[in-house]
Amino acid sequence: MPRAAGSYMPVAAPAIARRTTSAANVGKRSGSRLTTAKMSRPVTICGLRRWRSAHQPKMGSETSFANAHAATTKPRCAASMPYSCAKSGSTGKDITITATDTLETLAAKVNSSSSGVSATIVNDASGSRLVFTSSTTGTDNAFRITAVDADSANTDASGLSALAFDPAGGTSATTITQPAANAAATINGLPVSSATNSLVNVFSGLTITLSKVTSAPVQLSVAQDTTAIKKSVQTFVDAYNALSSLLSTDLKYDSSSQTAGPLQGDSAASSLQRQLRGLVGEASSASSVFSTLSQVGLEFQTDGTLKINDSKLTSAMANPVELKKLFTNVDATTPDNNGFATKLRTLSNAVLGGDGLLTARLSGLSTKLTRNQKDQDTLNDRLEATRARLQAQYTALDAKMLCYCTTLTFGKLQAACATDA
């Protein structure tokens, strides 16, 4: 999609999935002039140089970080210093600093707190500096740093107080190197501002992304994103074709190899295939212009898949509102007025729901598997019992045979002795 000077991004995507600016509105919005006066930025505070040598903290000292303004996003400073917020609805974040902490460990505590404030160490010829930066831009996301020092002197810039930055409270031992700022711009002579560099819904359905400060107005033009629309339609077709091909492969019987698919003869899979083909081939009253998918270039093939006719789809995109209705229209009272994507979603919910076709089928198969396993276990138990019984019988028979052999041998010896006598 063409963009004007890299200064905006359309939110309105394809007509079937996202909000699209109509042709009438495009005409009205062409020629909008935008001047970016200032980019949004986070607040940055630079503190403490040569921490270990010049600013050894006292055991048990604490430092507080606080947001100075109310904001939708409430960044908090982390590490282990207590910080109280001046803005409504926000709470402080406590970070405890001990005598063994260094700049590195303090920065690590801040960064591991998920507070919305990050800490980095900057090294140069004059030493090391600890720099705190809000992770969110805009004046509403500024913060302050207060200290609760062990010597009860929290504003003397000595010890842990050297971390403090709270001008309203009379402490500014650290230096603010970059004040928080909102983005500022002028659109058609009207000033607008934002905590970020994105102007959301300044024009309905559009997000304007500011990329740099401009000294002269930038001309903005809005056009339909046909590439995104075609991509969404192609994604829809690809998803349908993948499912259709899977069902066809698993349900077919290959006569040449005399091999049946894993779902050949399965009633649930066959029913799902019939429902899918019937749904995409039927007419819909969702749109007053288009009634079938073939009219907008989605043509049904002999193998059950869909193929996009690019010329038909391009022609249909000249009416994006009706094209969107054909896919996404929702009518809770009259299902025939639902778009094709809505109907497919309804079908998938019915198939995959708690009492759905596939859910019931899977439950039935699972029950059969469980029953089969129990039958196998029962048969194995019976076989084991039979084996044990036969083994006991043959063990007893072996004992009797041994006894008989012993008696027979003894008898033979006795007879031999009598004959010799």
Place of tokens 């081939």: 281
Place of tokens 């929290």: 154
Same-domain pairing of 51 and 28 = no
Task: Give residue 76's pLDDT.
Answer: 30
Task: Give residue 22's pLDDT.
Answer: 29
Phi, psi of 66 (to 5 degrees): -145, 150
Same-domain pairing of 337 and 241 = yes
Task: Give residue 2's pLDDT.
Answer: 34
Task: Give residue 384's pLDDT.
Answer: 93
Task: Give residue 14's pLDDT.
Answer: 26
Domain for residue 392, yes or no?
A: no
Same-domain pairing of 97 and 53 = yes
In the chain, the amino acid numbered 7 is S
User: How is residue 235 written in tokens?
Assistant: 């994604």
Domain for residue 385, yes or no?
A: no
Same-domain pairing of 20 and 76 = no
Assess contact for 270 and 357: CB atoms under 8 A: no
- Region for 41 from its dihedrals, namely left if φ exceeds 0, alpha if ψ lies in -120 to 50, beta otherwise: beta
Task: Give residue 53's pLDDT.
Answer: 30
Kindly tell me the sign of the dihedral angle through the C-alpha atoms of 129, 130, 134, 138. negative
Domain boundary among 352, 379, 395: 352
Residues 6+ away with beta carbon under 8 Å from 319: 289
Domain for residue 2, yes or no?
A: no
Domain for residue 401, yes or no?
A: no
Same-domain pairing of 249 and 327 = yes
Same-domain pairing of 248 and 325 = yes
Same-domain pairing of 252 and 341 = yes
Kindly tell me the sign of the dihedral angle through the C-alpha atoms of 336, 14, 196, 219. negative
Q: How many residues does the chain have?
A: 421
Domain count, the chain: 3
Same-domain pairing of 201 and 273 = no
Distance CA 385, CA 223 (A): 81
Domain boundary among 144, 178, 212: 178
Domain for residue 1, yes or no?
A: no
Same-domain pairing of 109 and 174 = yes
Same-domain pairing of 200 and 283 = no
Domain boundary among 352, 374, 395: 352
Distance CA 145, CA 143 (A): 7
Domain for residue 157, yes or no?
A: yes
CA 380 to chain centre: 48
Domain for residue 346, yes or no?
A: yes
Same-domain pairing of 218 and 289 = no
Give per-10-residue mean pLDDT for the chain (421 aa): 32 27 31 60 51 34 38 29 44 80 89 85 87 86 80 73 76 79 88 89 83 86 84 92 91 85 84 89 91 93 91 92 91 89 88 76 83 92 92 88 82 74 61
Domain for residue 88, yes or no?
A: yes
Q: What is the pTM of this model?
A: 0.47
Can you tell me whether residue 34 is helix, strand or coil?
Answer: strand
Same-domain pairing of 190 and 123 = no
- Give the range of the structural domain holding residue 339, as residue numbers without chain letter: 227-352
Assess contact for 199 and 72: CB atoms under 8 A: no
